[in-house]
């Protein structure tokens, strides 16, 4: 298929903000896409070139794009740079310069979707000395054969900033519309495959009912909703319910197949290499030929054997070198709480109490290495409250409360899990804009506009945050560091305000959620405070939703802010 046809769709999608129109456009397009291009087209519609859980990264900087535009257009690098600082968007620069060139030389262009995706994928696989020029020529080759619009979208795809706005919900509905299958069946397949490209292909081929879990390939995780107290959790989940400590670690989904163990994070990133001690513990302590487990890994101090907060061990997730030494200094203990697949069969469709029974049978605890989470199954409010107090006294975040009859259902609103914390839990939000400071902070972006998302993935502002960002590096994340992260993402400027591509996910604490007409969400955070960067753990799709904020607005009474 010609890439231009996909570009025509991008252009139409850019012109509408209406969910139904976007859905109809994508559905019609998916009907027409030839079978061999479906997966690629769906990836490109989401601005990716790999499955969402694929560890490969394009990793092509703005600087290199600038060089590729220079090579492809014949315009000097200085001139390209000048245009870039004027327009603030390399996609537009490419579009202008490449458009001119193709018009003047009348180059006939016949880029295919396959060619575009193949060249961009190669950027992620070439490694080592001497590959930079090769990478530039891969992009330049595409640009040379592009029309003006194609150049814009190729540039944005290479930079992973497509901005056409196809949220997962729209894709799900479009695939359903294009194939006549139910939205539920599409969503179920997407939970299992964690990849809408493959879902679309199988749906078109009529093979969706063949979709099943496969150890080695990550699945979406089950999530919870906040409740204000134990009583409310019983109302949500029925009696009795299962109570577990909410541990302050990080989520790991653990797979085993053919004696190979694989670990995935909450973002479905493969972190097997980073946690050799976890691989070892699972191999020793969990019986079974094949399985998928859900777990929370907790760091602890090897000297005192006491738990460490997530912050102290987060560096292990990204670490690429000296892994063994770091594992000794900051070891983690695995707390297993669910099993979704066991010895060739899915367990997603059996109730929690049975899954838990199986789990307790197959995991043999090893102190400070691996265990199943402590649990209390009760219908008694006093007992549950005492368990909550004990959890907090031990330094945990609160409780996870689970419906004993619930199936394993990925997603947030399925009603199987609740979380209870004594504090107003911080929100994960994305920075969509910022403004330059005054006086000594005049060169730095120092106040950040933060947004949540609605069901369609539209970003809605909830306030501005500045407090909590530091002046000095020793104290934490600085204005300078945030400015450095945000500057390459600037898409427009208005006076001292800038708008940025939403990429930087931050955790924000606050004293209260208030109704407010000032911000697009209809809510504002009172006294927001920057807590930490969450770019390594959460993607923009994972930020808190408007529904989360509404829920917090209703459960906030009596909770302490954690400023």
The C-alpha atoms of residue 327 and residue 300 are separated, in whole angstroms, by 11
Of residues 187, 195, 229, 244, which one binds ligand ATP by CB under 6 A?
A: 244
Largest CA distance in the chain: 80
- Binding-site member from 234, 275, 337, 341 for ligand ATP (CB under 6 A): 337
Signed CA dihedral, 441, 314, 214, 57: sign only:
positive
**CA dist., res. 349 & res. 409, Å (int):** 9
356 binds ligand ATP (CB under 6 A): no
Nearer to ligand ATP, 174 or 224 (CB): 224
Q: Choose the binding region for ligand ATP from 161-169, 246-254, 323-331, 476-484 (rule: CB under 6 A).
A: 246-254
Choosing from 101, 246, 403, 421, which is the catalytic residue?
246
Site string for ligand ATP, 89-108 (x = CB under 6 A): --------------------
Contact with ligand ATP (CB under 6 A) among 419, 496, 503, 539: 419
Site for ligand ATP in 373-402 (CB under 6 A): 373, 400
Cβ atoms within 10 Å of 321's Cβ, excluding its own: 6
Of residues 185 and 232, the one with the C-beta less far from ligand ATP? 232
Q: Degrees (nearest 5) of the Cα angle 162, 538, 543? A: 80
**3-class SS of residue 289:** coil
Encoded tokens for 559 = 């909770």
CB of 224 to ligand ATP, least distance (A): 4
Beta strand residue intervals within 288-437, DSSP E:
291-299, 332-342, 345-346, 370-372, 375-378, 398-403, 417-420, 427-436
Q: How far is the CB of 254 from ligand ATP (least distance, A)?
A: 13
Site string for ligand ATP, 266-285 (x = CB under 6 A): x-------------------
Q: From 283, 273, 281, 319, select the one nearest 297 (Cα to Cα).
A: 281
Q: What six digits make up the tokens of 425? A: 């839990």
Which residues lie closer than 8 Å to 205 by C-beta, 6 or more apart? 35
According to DSSP, residue 307 is labeled B
**Residue reference for tokens 């939000």:** 429
Least distance between ligand ATP and beta carbon 400 (Å): 4
C-alpha to C-alpha distance for 309 and 430, rounded to whole angstroms: 23
Please state the closest distance from residue 359 (CB atom) to ligand ATP, in A: 12
Site size toward ligand ATP (CB under 6 A) is 14
Structure-token pair, residue 37: 């291009």
Report in angstroms how near the CB of residue 481 gets to ligand ATP at its nearest: 22
Identify the residue among 118, 124, 164, 223 touching ligand ATP (CB under 6 A).
223
Residue with Cβ nearer ligand ATP (277 or 537): 537
246 part of the active site = yes
- Residues marked active site are found at 246
Contacts to ligand ATP by CB under 6 A: 223-224, 244-247, 251, 266, 296, 337, 373, 400, 419, 425
């Amino acid at each position: 298929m010609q890439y231009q046809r996909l570009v025509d769709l991008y252009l139409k999608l850019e012109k509408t903000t209406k969910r139904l129109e976007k859905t109809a456009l994508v559905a019609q397009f998916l009907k027409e896409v030839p079978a061999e291009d479906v997966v690629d087209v769906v990836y490109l519609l989401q601005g990716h070139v790999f499955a969402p859980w694929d560890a490969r990264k394009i990793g092509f900087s703005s600087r290199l794009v600038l060089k590729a535009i220079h090579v492809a257009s014949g315009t000097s690098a200085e001139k390209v740079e000048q245009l870039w600082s004027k327009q603030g968007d390399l996609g537009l620069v490419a579009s202008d310069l490449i458009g001119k060139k193709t018009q003047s030389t009348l180059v006939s262009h016949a880029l295919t979707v396959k060619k575009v995706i193949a060249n961009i994928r190669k950027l992620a696989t070439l490694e080592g000395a001497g590959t930079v020029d090769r990478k530039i020529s891969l992009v330049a080759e595409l640009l040379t054969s592009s029309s003006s619009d194609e150049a814009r979208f190729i540039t944005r795809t290479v930079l992973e900033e497509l901005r056409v706005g196809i949220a997962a919900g729209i894709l799900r509905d479009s695939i359903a519309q294009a194939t006549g299958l139910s939205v539920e069946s599409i969503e179920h397949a997407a939970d299992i495959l964690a990849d809408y490209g493959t879902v679309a292909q199988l749906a078109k081929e009529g093979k969706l009912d063949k979709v099943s879990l496969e150890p080695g390939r990550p699945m979406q995780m089950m999530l919870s909703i906040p409740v204000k107290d134990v009583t409310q959790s019983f109302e949500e989940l029925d009696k009795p319910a299962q109570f577990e400590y909410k541990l302050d670690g990080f989520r790991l989904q653990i797979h085993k197949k053919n004696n190979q163990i694989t670990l995935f994070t909450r973002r479905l990133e493969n972190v097997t290499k980073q946690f050799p001690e976890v691989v070892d513990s699972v191999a020793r302590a969990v019986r079974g030929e094949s399985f998928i487990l859900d777990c929370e890994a907790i760091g602890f101090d090897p000297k005192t054997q006491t738990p460490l907060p997530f912050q102290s061990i987060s560096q292990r997730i990204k670490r690429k070198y000296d892994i063994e030494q770091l594992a000794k200094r900051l070891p983690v203990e695995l707390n297993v709480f669910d099993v979704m697949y066991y010895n060739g069969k899915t367990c997603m469709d059996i109730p929690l109490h049975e899954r838990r029974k199986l789990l307790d049978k197959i995991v043999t605890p090893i102190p400070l290495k691996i265990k199943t989470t402590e649990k209390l199954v009760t219908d008694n409010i006093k007992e549950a409250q005492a368990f909550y107090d004990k959890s907090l006294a031990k330094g945990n975040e609160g409780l996870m409360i689970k419906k004993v009859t619930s199936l394993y259902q990925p997603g947030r609103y399925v009603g199987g899990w609740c979380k209870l914390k004594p504090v107003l839990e911080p929100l994960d939000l994305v920075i969509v804009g910022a403004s330059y400071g005054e006086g000594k902070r005049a060169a730095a972006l120092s106040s950040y506009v933060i947004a949540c998302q609605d069901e369609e993935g539209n970003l809605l502002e909830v306030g501005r945050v500045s407090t909590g960002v530091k002046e000095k590096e020793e104290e934490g994340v600085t204005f300078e560091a945030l400015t450095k992260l945000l500057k390459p993402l600037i898409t427009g400027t208005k006076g001292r305000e800038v708008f940025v591509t939403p990429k930087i996910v931050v955790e924000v604490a606050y004293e209260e959620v208030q109704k407010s007409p000032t911000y697009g969400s209809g809510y504002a955070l009172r006294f927001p405070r920057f807590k930490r960067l969450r770019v390594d753990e959460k993607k923009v799709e994972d930020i808190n939703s408007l529904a989360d904020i509404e829920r917090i607005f209703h459960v906030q009474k009596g909770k302490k802010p954690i400023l």
